[in-house]
Structure 1
């Protein structure tokens, strides 16, 4: 079991995510005209032996509309969901789909080698593979008993 260093910003990010979810769901319930709710893609972070894998659901987003920024301790996703046709607001009976820009910052449980990051995008799922930094691997030494 490895220790994860305390990151005070992680708790603030989790609080911000919870507040965003609460306010955006309330705005959708109210259906206020002209008020856009924010949206953040759902993600899974999988800790493999030598790498981290992040899978993000990005329905309706095109590959060229996604930006990925990787540091040693977090990944930021930015993008935009564009409308496929122009519809005037007065023509809508109901609108629940999100259009516009989004951003999501994902804290990482261990440092990664950001230069070796690879990403693929297929069927609305973005998969990012981040190799773990070398200092995090367990080391073994032979001990002789005297």
Structure 2
């Protein structure tokens, strides 16, 4: 079989040679069978202040063919688009439409109110609105307080070593002399 370049528009429908026509016939026939068994609808999702919106393109389906399920924060939309084989007077040469079962799932945060989810099927588009729970999404301002202004207790020893409240020792005199030595070098 030859590798064939596909253009746009009418050129794709007109083969250059009989051999390429046969190649295209057999390739498209195999691909058509695969498309008949798989259907992955196109989806648009967005978030608004009040919730989430899912739009799914489901041309040729009826609302009875579509099932929605919400469980543990996951919205699952499933269904099936069947190929109508009962057309006895037609012989298809090319089938580019997708047919078959589909299932798409969407995970939502716990700020969703599942009892208020709405789904409307209109003109081949499924519109799903998933509202947010306003009580869970309300912003709370957290005040930053100042810590206690109590200084750390330091005990002084005879050699100018101090111990903090945890018992760790440090020597400011040693640190100062080391800084002076490093600066003179």
TM category, shorter: 0.5 to 0.7
2: CA distance between counterparts of 1:72 and 1:56? 21
Query: Measured at CA, do residues 33 and 129 of structure 1 come closer, stay the same or move farther in structure 2, by a change above 3 Å?
Result: closer
Matches within 5 A, 1:60-75: 60-75=60-75
Q: Distance in 2 between matches of 1:120 and 1:106?
A: 17
How far residue 36 of structure 1 moved from its aligned partner, in angstroms, is 2.7
Conserved in 2, the CA contact under 8 Å of 1:65 and 1:79?
Answer: yes
Give the 5 Å matches for 1:1-146. Answer: 30-32=28-30, 35-37=33-35, 38-84=38-84, 86-87=86-87, 91-108=91-108, 110-111=109-110, 112-133=112-133, 134-140=135-141
Aligned residues: 115
TM-score by length of 2: 0.52
Q: Secondary structure at the match of 2:115?
A: helix
- Is contact 1:46-1:52 (8 Å) kept? yes
Secondary structure of the residue aligned to 2:136 is: helix
| Higher Rg | 2
Unaligned runs of 5+ residues in structure 2 are 1-26, 147-185
Measure the CA separation in 1 of the matches of 2:45 and 2:32: 34
Aligned to 1:6: none
Quick check: 2:76–2:105 contact (8 Å CA) kept in 1?
yes
Q: CA RMSD in A?
A: 2.8
Cα drift, residue 115 of structure 1: 1.2
Distance between the aligned counterparts of 1:34 and 1:49, measured in 2? 43
Q: Say if 1:33 and 1:128 are closer, same or farther in 2 by CA, change over 3 A.
A: closer
Which structure has the higher relative contact order (CA within 8 Å, separation 6+)? 1
* Deviations 1:48-79 (CA, angstroms, capped at 9, x unpaired): 11211111111111111100112353211111
> Which residue number in structure 2 is paired with residue 7 of structure 1?
none
Measure, in 2, the Cα distance between the counterparts of 1:52 and 1:34.
35
Displacement of 1:42 in angstroms is 1.1
